[in-house]
Chains A and B, each alone.
Chain A
Amino acid sequence: MIFLRRQLPLLITMITGLIFAGQYYVPHPASEQLLTSATKWLQIIGGFALVLGVTSLFQVHAAKIRRKEAGWGYSMVLYAGMLGTMAVGWWANGKESVEGVSTAFGWVYNFMMVPLQGTMFAILAFFIASAAYRSFRARSREAAVLLIAAVIVMMGRVPLGEYLVPVSGDISQWILNVLNASVRRAILIGVSLGAVALSFKIIFGVERSYLGGGKE
């Protein structure tokens, strides 16, 4: 059993990891065909992952409803929303419109999901303004630098700001192109090196947390 639980997955990871790391550098048709097949597999597995995700979501919220935990009413709303959408989706055969006429599924998407998601995002503007008023203070030199940079970029990114302070547009572009890009690049390089190191650790079986816990 240890072989199936531990050694086999580690072996599969190592072999596929090494093959596909090498595949990138081999432009032979056989190598390309291998990549085509593997990505098709990935797409199919991705489809199953969706089913797994939905099932897991249902289980978590079913437990909340059963135990009547705090906020269990929201779990009921989630159930009603998901089951309702699935029902109209199946009824409409997954189509949002037929010959230009919106189906019930299309109606749910256009008149429920679109405005709800839009509202959630729009609310951010109000909370950001309130949070900025309460916490964006020049308490230290570093905070003062951040505050000045933020004000310049905010001014430079809108026509009214550029109209009031004409030079703000150019300074804002310089901040984004030089200061921001260089710092972001440094972070990206660091993250990428970390990803390479982690990949090697996974391929060679040093990092095994993805296998999960459980008895050996």
Chain B
Amino acid sequence: MSFAERMLKIDRRIIFVVIGLCTLLPLLYPVGLPIKISQEVRGVYDHIESLPERSVILLSLDFDPASKPELYPQAVAILRHAFKKNLRVVAMTLWVSGTGMADELLTKVANESGKQRGTDFVFLGWSPGGTAVIINMGQDLYNAFPSDYGGKPTRGQPVLEGVNSLKDVIYAVSLGAGNPGVEAWYVFGKDKYKFELGGGCTGVMAPGLYPLLRSGQINGLIGGLRGAAEYESLIGQKGRAVAGMDAQSATHVAIIALVGLCNIFYFSLRRQARQQGSQP
């Protein structure tokens, strides 16, 4: 067996060790390379920045713990921005398995910003029905969520003053890890109830949402950990996402190097086979 053949059949555990080290070392010894801000992320940031104080924004945390590394930092950054701008935040989730995490996240950022539950923010929790919940909220928010996650009646809470349905929400952001997520919020929410919509998603989902972005169906898109890191840079509060970018950088470069090596060995084998074939 030639060297190239042996390298192409390398033990997968060696690749696992390379990826493990590329993830671990930058987390232990961060470099902090500068992050360029994209127009997609700036779209969400600029819109929140332009809202007047006490405007109502809806944050739908449509993800579960599996997507926590990418979407949690996005949610933290948006919440910090919204609370800094003194906006009223109505949060919810369309993913039942993400309910506890969403409540913990909201409570943590609200405490850190000195915001009061019921006055500055409310967590509606989860309700069965998937996309039907969006339509129901568009018709009557109190019908869809008669009480919040803590069991307190939603009607009469100061944070929801003047809000009867999605039509009264100025801006909605869905941070989605799948379906229902950003697309569902456009199809069943924005299209009918005419509010401005921004999106956030995992890195692998981002390319699929570009058509919505280019056509203006969503006004911004925060894609994966990179998007979260850009948002953290924009609000000037660098957190988990910026810290994780070095690890992601190293891992991407390692995968590119591995793919490059694999192709070098593949072509060298192909050339050898051709040479042997042309010999008499």
Contacts and interface: CB of A to CB of B under 8 A. Distances in A.
A55 interface: no
Contacts of B143: 36, 40
B262 A133 contact: yes
Interface in A42-74: 42-47, 49-50
A176 B210 contact: yes
B86 interface: no
A39 B136 contact: yes
Contacts of B33: 159-160, 163
A193 interface: no
Contact of B128 (A46, A110, A120, A185): A46
B252 A177 contact: no
A15 interface: no
B252 A138 contact: no
A181 B210 contact: yes
Instruction: Say whether chain B's binding surface is mostly helix, strand, loop, or mixed.
Output: helix
B144 interface: yes
Contacts of B249: 158-161
Contacts of A157: 203, 224, 226, 252
A154 interface: yes
A39 B211 contact: no
A114 B206 CA distance: 23
Contacts of B246: 159-160
Instruction: Kindly list the 10 A-B residue pairs having the minimum CB-CB distance in the complex, ordered from nearest.
Output: A160-B249, A43-B129, A42-B132, A46-B128, A159-B33, A46-B129, A36-B139, A39-B136, A117-B65, A181-B210
Interface of A: 24, 32, 35-36, 39-40, 42-47, 49-50, 96, 106, 109-110, 113-118, 120-122, 125-126, 128-130, 132-134, 136-139, 147, 150-151, 154-155, 157-164, 169, 173, 176-177, 180-181, 184-185, 188
23 contacts: A36-B139, A39-B135, A40-B143, A42-B132, A42-B136, A43-B129, A46-B128, A47-B128, A116-B65, A125-B251, A126-B16, A129-B255, A130-B15, A133-B261, A134-B262, A154-B252, A157-B226, A158-B245, A160-B246, A160-B249, A161-B249, A180-B207, A181-B211
Given A133-B262, A158-B249, A181-B214, 17 more contacts: A36-B143, A42-B129, A43-B132, A46-B128, A47-B129, A106-B100, A114-B65, A118-B65, A128-B255, A130-B15, A133-B15, A136-B262, A136-B263, A138-B263, A154-B256, A177-B214, A188-B211
